């Protein structure tokens, strides 16, 4: 299988990198669109990112066992968080996501999400990647960006 290009989404917001990092990680369950982008949808009771290297991204739902979406591989507060990503998939069929936080010359935070290693998904890799092109633009580029512009986190 040929290597598929990463999905990349970049936003710039009037926040400092430390605050944006905290909003993305500690505030994950506040900004993530649970009604449309979770396994359990309306039964979802929460989603959270455990802090630190080895922490997990966990979805909880009424009447269901917690679902692990991924595991933190890089934890550099104010700079970068990276994790495996397999929401609703077998943990061996993971992809990887990295989110970096940099301050530009105007004092705004440039936040870049990169999602790659699609080949781990085998025959469905292209279709899943294509879905994430618009999915990350909506969830990260619109929902998270709006959350950052409207919140005090």
Q: What is the pLDDT at residue 151?
A: 82
pLDDT of residue 78: 98
Q: Residue 86, SS3?
A: coil
pLDDT greater than 70 at residue 153: no
- Domain range enclosing 16: 7-32+76-150
Q: Which residue has the tokens 């009604």?
A: 35
| Distance (Å, whole) CA 47 – CA 67 | 9
* pLDDT tens-digit map of 6-25: 999 999 999 999 999 999 99
Task: Please answer whether residues 100 and 80 qualify as being in contact, where contact means their C-beta atoms are separated by less than 8 angstroms.
Answer: yes
Answer yes or no: is 135 within a domain. Answer: yes
> Which residue(s) pair with 71 in the sheet?
56
Residues 90-134 have pLDDT tens digits of 888 999 999 999 999 999 999 999 999 999 999 999 999 999 999
The per-residue pLDDT for 59 is 98
20 lies in some domain: yes
Asked if pLDDT for residue 1 goes beyond 70, the answer is: no
The domain total for the chain is 1
Q: What is the model's pLDDT at position 146?
A: 96
The single residue listed with the structure tokens 């009424």 is: 62
The candidate with the shortest Cα–Cα distance to 24, out of 147, 137, 150, is 147
Q: What is the Cα–Cα distance from 56 to 45, expressed in whole angstroms?
A: 17
Residue 22 lies in a domain: yes
pLDDT over 70 (residue 43): yes
Banded pLDDT at 2 (limits 50, 70, 90): confident
* Alpha helices for the chain (secondary structure H): 17-25, 28-31, 125-136, 145-150
pLDDT, one tens digit per residue, over 45-77 is: 999 999 999 999 999 999 999 999 999 999 999
Residue 23 inside a domain? The answer is: yes
pLDDT in the model for residue 121 = 95
Query: Side-chain half-sphere of 59: how many Cα atoms within 13 Å?
Result: 24
Q: What CATH number did the domain enclosing 132 receive? A: 3.30.530.20
In a domain, 62, yes or no: no
């Amino acid at each position: 299988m040929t290597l598929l290009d990463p999905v990349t989404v970049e936003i710039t917001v009037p926040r400092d990198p430390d605050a944006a990092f905290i909003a993305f990680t500690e505030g994950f369950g506040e900004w993530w669109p649970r009604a449309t982008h979770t396994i359990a949808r309306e039964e979802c009771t929460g989603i959270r990112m455990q802090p630190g290297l080895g922490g997990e991204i966990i979805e909880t739902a009424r009447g269901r066992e917690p679902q692990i979406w991924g595991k933190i591989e890089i934890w550099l507060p104010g700079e970068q968080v990276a994790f495996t990503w397999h929401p609703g998939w077998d943990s061996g069929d993971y992809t990887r996501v990295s989110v970096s936080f940099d301050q530009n010359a105007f004092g705004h935070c440039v936040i870049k999400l990169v999602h790659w290693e699609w080949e781990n998904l085998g025959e469905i890799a292209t279709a899943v990647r294509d879905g994430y092109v618009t999915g990350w633009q909506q969830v990260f580029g619109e929902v998270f960006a709006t959350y950052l512009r409207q919140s005090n986190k």
